[in-house]
Amino acid sequence: MSGARLTSTEKEKAWINAGRKVGLEIWRIEQFNVKPWPKRQYRNFYTGDSYIILNTHTGANQTKIRWDIHIWVGNASTQDEYGTAAFKAVELDDSLGGIPVQHRESEGHESSLFMSYFKNQIKILAGGTESGFNQVRAKNYQQRLLRFKGKKLVRITQVPLERASLNSGDVFVLDLGLVIYQWNGSKSAGQERMKAAQYCRALDDERGGLPEVIVLEEGDQEEKFWCHFPEGFGSVKSARKGGVDDEVTGCEKELYRLSDASGTLKFTKVATGNDIRRDLLNSNDVFILDIGSEIFAWVGRGSSVAERKMAMSYANEYLIKKHKLKLPVSRILEGGENEVFEHSMNW
């Protein structure tokens, strides 16, 4: 670890006790600063923000402490916020000895590992650092429409309160404060319906049991529901137009090597599809593996400082070149592969 990097890490007070105890820790980037995210908010993410999430666990053997660091980037988050989150995540990584697995998560395309921390359910809300706490703390309930989408990993996203937001393939919750409607699309998944019902019960408990919860099916003409939509009652988009649940970008797997053995960093394709084998990995280099649904930057034990430093940068450049910016990215150290990585390696 370089002296410069260590000095930078020591200046960040947020990392002093980070990763000392098993469990989840979350920070939000606020005006270039790292701010702890309240535990009561741990399933809530604002589309205008970037977050750093640290999961401290003991791994499969239940003895050795391991860490996973995730950067979650909202669709409306600024480049400055994301850049700060990326830089601070490296500081956090260094403070933990440089051995955590790093991941980048994009709103709406979160990895299964990330979703597992929140029992496969997160809530994505409109707004950002300027509006986030105001919305949560407001005494008067703000009308909002939430979409529940996903067959296995259900994501909750705040959408415009208009009929155009509805579709037959998802479940929607209209939160009016003391009246809560659950609207089930005719082709919505059972998991979506169940998660929405659990969410409605949680809102009811949070508000002292005062709200009335009403469940509607697509086609119901409940006037008290439809009067909150400017267009009123009418047909909604098809399930197909509503988007595919748990959409995964389909493509042939690709493996690339990042190496400076020649004296300069070179990024070259090694293999594709079924030609990808584990014995192609070399401990002296870094490899970028694209499995279609996720990108892995595998860092060999003997890789150079330059190769290690540029692993995530090259992975991100690859995403830009391939127009796959929404895919999650994970940095994996040789010997510290997590279960998700191992499960993905069906070579």
Q: For the domain with range 144-241, which CATH number is right: 3.40.50.1820, 3.30.465.10, 3.20.20.370, 3.40.20.10?
A: 3.40.20.10
User: CB of 88 within 8 A of CB of 51?
Assistant: no
pTM (2 d.p.)? 0.60
Measured between alpha carbons, how far is residue 108 from residues 105, 291, 303, 327 in Å?
9, 18, 33, 10
Domain residue ranges of the chain, discontinuous segments joined by +: 13-125, 144-241, 254-344
Q: What is the pLDDT of residue 229?
A: 95
Select from 12, 19, 81 the least CA-distant residue to 46.
81
Q: What is the pLDDT of residue 130?
A: 55
DSSP calls for 137-193: H-SSPPPEEEEEE-SSSEEEEEE-SSGGG-BTTSEEEEE-SSEEEEEE-TT--HHHH
Query: Is 170 exposed, middle or buried (CB count within 10 Å of its CB: 0-12, 13-18, 19+)?
Result: buried
Residues 6+ apart with CB under 8 A from 201: 213
Name the CATH superfamily, with its identifier, for domain 254-344.
Answer: Severin (3.40.20.10)
Which regions in the chain score pLDDT beneath 50? 1-9, 131-139, 248-250, 347
List the alpha helices (DSSP H) in the chain.
3-11, 79-95, 112-116, 132-137, 190-206, 223-226, 305-321, 339-344
Q: What is the pLDDT of residue 133?
A: 41
**Count of residues making up the chain:** 347
Q: What is the pLDDT of residue 134?
A: 40
3-state secondary structure of 200: helix
CATH class given for the domain over 13-125 = alpha beta
